[in-house]
Structure 1
Amino acid sequence: MFRASDFLGKLSKQSRRGSLLSKLRHGHRSKYGRALQANEASVYSNHVNGEYTNCVRDELGQKNAILNCGQPRLQYSRFATAAAEAYNIEPSTDGDSSHVSEEYANVNWDGLGFGLTPTDYMYIMNCSKGQKFSQGTLTRFGKTEMNPSSGILNYGQGLIEGLKAYRTRNERILLFRPEENAMRMQMGAERMCMSSPTIEQFVNAVKQIVHSNRRWVPPPGKGTMYIRPLLMGNGPDLGVAPASEYTFVTYASPVGNYHKVLGALNLVVEEKFRRATPGGTGGVKAITNYAIIYKPISEAKAKGFTDVLFLDAVTGKYVEEASTSNIFVVKENVISTPPTNGTILPGITRKSIIEIARVLGYQVEERAILVEELFDAEEVFCTGTAVVVNPVNSITYQDKRTEYKRGVGTVGQKLYEILTGIQSGCIEDEMGWTVELD
């Protein structure tokens, strides 16, 4: 059985050897971490709203020994059965009810999809070209004013980000690596000739929007809060030039599973359309990257596929990424993923999975992957903020369908359990990735 203590033990050894991970620890070892390393700990996974909620308990049965994660039973819901489809984990039907210590919004948490549920507040900041963003304000969620000649409406000068807030079993609320999203937005703003919030301003905006809407953060195991920062050119301009004014808006919504069809993905390689070209904006989260993929996605879904897998624009021979997620290929315990060379988005989940995999001792290669290599792969999975770590059941290329391993014991499952365990607060964050709301 894969155990969380295996991961923490490997991380501890690497840190003692003076690896780069040692500087990430910042003294995060707590009494819970010591208890976890002192005793064998089991990981319990629950696939709810397309995500597994991982809880770790002390096998000595000590109450609240590890992060107060509650009883180690799988809570049954219509999403729990997707575990058998995705990673072949048997859902239990005798789940327990978690104690609720604060008011929740009136939401059918079991019915969450990946759609907008309007919350209470949004956060807005403004600045003029060449200036710094001023302090923002919270306002009731609703429509925003926009000049019809604004850069975002006329020329697509805009960027988006996406991150999540997680409610733990003891009612803490955690953010996952928000500073990484801030830095990625700054990188995108430089490419799109836009003013950008500082890292501190970005993270503060995210904290404020989650805190003001905390009653909309789903209960543990029911989903997450998706946070959408948006940077847009919003001045009275007409010519083809960078906007004279910029607006930064952040809003949030409780969400469940990203893909409507729960479980493992069935992808088709897109041979006609391309997502990004060298020298373009494929490596940043420009809003213009997304409307162009609607056509191939619509055609793929009409044929029964979950999503498309794009190839490079120059040769059409190399795998790049899916519509909204990075891709990983596993063969003989070697994990490969395409490099972020300007046409592939540098995903934060992608980065985290690579770091976790290396701590676990896997060889990880960031390299060009020929599409024909998919025929011989043992396992394939996709990563992203929305999809988390999603196993791929099959990939179809030139009418040839190849199926892959999935289920208990796969590489993807192990990585998923560690990642979501850290995100949900059920595994001690030795990496220094989570930020707790006050």
Structure 2
Amino acid sequence: MIPPKPASRAGRVPLWRYARAFRKDILSAQPERLYRAWMADFRTPFFRSVLVNQPELVDEVLKGRPQDFPKSDRVTHGLKPLLGKAVFVTNGETWARQRRLIDPAFAGGKVEDTFPSMLAAARALSMRLDVGTVDVEPLTSHATADVIFRTLFSIPIEDEMAADVYEAFRGYQRTQPVLSAAALVPMLRHIPAWRGRARAKRIRQLIARLVEGRRSAIASGQAPDDLATRILMACDPETGAGFSDPEMIDQVAIFFLAGHETSAAALAWALYLLAMHPGVQDRVAGEARRFAADPTLRTLRNLTLTRNVFRETLRLYPPVPMMVRQTTRKECFRDRELGRGTQVVLSPWHLHRQTRLWPDPDAFDPARWERDETREIAKAAYMPFSAGPRICPGAGFATIEAQVMLAVLLAAWKVSLSDGPPPVPVAHLTVRSADGIHINLSRR
């Protein structure tokens, strides 16, 4: 059984029709040839963009100096009312300073300190489930938001403030397109983004209260040792300064948006893939039962198949399907001259399904991750968390979280396909389903 994949557009279309399709869904707006091309060139009256699938070019863009290919603000323009100058959207020294303050909080054993909170959130999700057909997307969104609140501010999602923030984010995400008109028409980029502005303001007000409360707790010596405390107390080794409250609000906004939305999308698709493949699910459930008998970080490391299921899910359904950088000078890619300001699109969605690189690229095959061949391919063509200096600082966090969630759920619940139509992947802020991901739940 081949997992769901959106149909590609057929042939060439006028720019206005492409723009309309792009705003609705990035994935189905693209031509089929991108799954086999090393590079594709797109030209509009306003800008030029190239999508690169050749591993050497991807490496050049991602793993070189960040200032050579900074992040483009075309796609993120509409998020600025919410994110401000968060690490996800900044470039240059601002970005470098933010990473110096953030990275230590996610380094090594500090991520492992969040394990108890992840386990508690996973158990809470399992307790909320009931037998029958469910749309798992809202469930995984609620659960991963719970993880963020527990690990960032040491409060469960049932806390009144946490619930308010979560509901405000849900409303914001439903109204925010992945592509604003400013991404296509340069002169509009100077006009402040308006869509979702009121909701963004409300979210930032709620986050401000959380940050102010934590700042007070730190001053009184009563702050818990969680991610918020570590980041607020961090000092830049080069300047000695830390984040101001407005800067911290920016960072919390992206932690929540990226940390819960991307994990929720991946977890929902993983459950659907396991419902499609009951044989794999039974083996994952075996690992899960052993983990449930002794749920520790030591036994978590034994979840080899569970980890490979998550890797394969991220290959097929990378939560962030495309990233956009831009050139700062003239470049030459595959004998083509690129002018300054050319948009360089890196597409995990297409790279992870590149027919020249991956055997059976559309198939769900967790066993591929046991083969040396796959590990070599992955070095060049697997980047669900980006790569190079701008790799997501929460990559390790997300991987541990997914394993804990899947193990706790599969130890208690069996998932199977519902009678309805299969989900259709679409790209909004992340790769979600057009009409939900419906599966059947029964107790083991």
TM-score (norm 1): 0.30
Q: Larger % of helix: which?
A: 2
Q: Please report the TM-score for the alignment, with normalisation by the length of structure 2.
A: 0.30
Higher RCO by CA contacts (8 Å cutoff, separation 6 or greater): 2
